[in-house]
């Protein structure tokens, strides 16, 4: 969110900004008591237009635009910030519908947070209506080596060298066949799950170093599911496991609806506001 509203009276000290975690409806936010935000600071509400923005106060020396540009290049800093941000968003999501803020959305003061709520009220209300009573669930599909039947090696002319080359060609062919089978299965699984979800997104597969899995990921899907139909959705995942042995399917969630808010750029975005 961004705003060009002038600094308002009654804000906290001028060298602190407001890290936005997410937006919810006007509601009892007692669940936030004791919940740490960025740098362990308490989270608090900023209200406007019947909506609530949940923010942490952060020092602009570390979270101002130029400082953030440097810090976002530091993977350890970025991981800590992402975990702190997610902890708050997850708490909000477990209590009801929430529109998660993009990572590193920082405003100069409460007045600008409130102005952004007012400016985007129609959009935010539409999103909250869409997310109400629903949760984001992830389904990841990992390649199962050897699930595709391999052709038996046949004898041929030549000595040990020729036999090695035949085995090597067979191994490469089997690997390619396995990759094609996994890709086809991933497409079929995603299509089936999408028909039973309110909305679906297929994200790029995660690198093995990130996923921690021993085999490649072929499916990285996110599905917005009505709470009332969750059991049926989970049952469908079970039936798809049996139907597609080429993949090891993993159901995770519920997650905050990161995949189903407004489209976002690949990199974290900073709010550019004129200094006061």
pLDDT tens readout for residues 239-263: 999 999 999 999 999 999 999 996 4
CATH number of 134-259: 3.30.70
Domains of the chain, residue spans: 16-132, 134-259
Answer whether 0.85 is exceeded by the pTM: no
Helix runs in 5-152, H state only: 60-63, 65-71, 75-95, 110-119, 121-131
Low-confidence ranges of the chain (pLDDT < 50): 1-12, 149-155, 173-174, 263-276
CA–CA separation, 110 and 230 (whole Å)? 38
User: Angle at CA 259, nearest 5°, toward 105 and 99?
Assistant: 50
Q: What is the pLDDT of residue 171?
A: 53
Helix (H) or strand (E) holding 175: helix 160-195
Q: What is the pLDDT of residue 166?
A: 55
% helix / strand / coil in the chain, to the nearest 5? 45, 25, 35
Bridge partners, residue 250, by sequence: 140
Q: What is the pLDDT of residue 239?
A: 97
């Amino acid at each position: 969110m961004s705003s060009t509203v002038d600094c308002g009276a009654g804000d906290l000290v001028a060298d602190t900004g407001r890290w936005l975690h997410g937006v919810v409806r006007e509601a009892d936010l007692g669940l936030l008591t004791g919940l740490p935000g960025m740098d362990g600071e308490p989270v608090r509400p900023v209200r406007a237009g019947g909506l609530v923005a949940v923010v942490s106060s952060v020092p602009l020396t570390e979270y101002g635009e130029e400082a953030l540009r440097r810090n976002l290049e530091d993977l350890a800093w970025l991981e800590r910030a992402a975990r702190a941000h997610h902890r708050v968003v997850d708490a909000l999501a477990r209590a009801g519908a929430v529109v998660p803020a993009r990572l590193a959305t920082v405003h100069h003061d409460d007045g600008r947070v409130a102005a952004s709520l007012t400016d985007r009220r129609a959009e935010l209300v539409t999103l909250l209506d869409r997310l109400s009573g629903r949760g984001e669930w992830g389904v990841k599909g990992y390649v199962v080596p050897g699930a595709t039947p391999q052709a038996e090696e046949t004898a041929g002319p030549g000595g040990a060298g020729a036999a090695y080359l035949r085995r090597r060609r067979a191994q490469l062919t089997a690997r390619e066949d396995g990759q094609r089978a996994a890709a086809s299965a991933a497409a079929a699984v995603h299509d089936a799950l999408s028909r039973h979800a309110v909305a679906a997104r297929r994200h790029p597969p995660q690198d093995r170093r990130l996923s921690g899995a021993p085999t490649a990921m072929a499916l990285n899907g996110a599905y917005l599911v009505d709470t009332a139909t969750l059991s049926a959705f989970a049952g469908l995942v079970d039936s798809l496991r049996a139907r597609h042995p080429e993949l090891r399917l993993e159901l995770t969630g519920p997650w905050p609806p990161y995949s189903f808010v407004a489209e976002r750029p690949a990199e974290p975005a900073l709010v550019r506001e004129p200094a006061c």
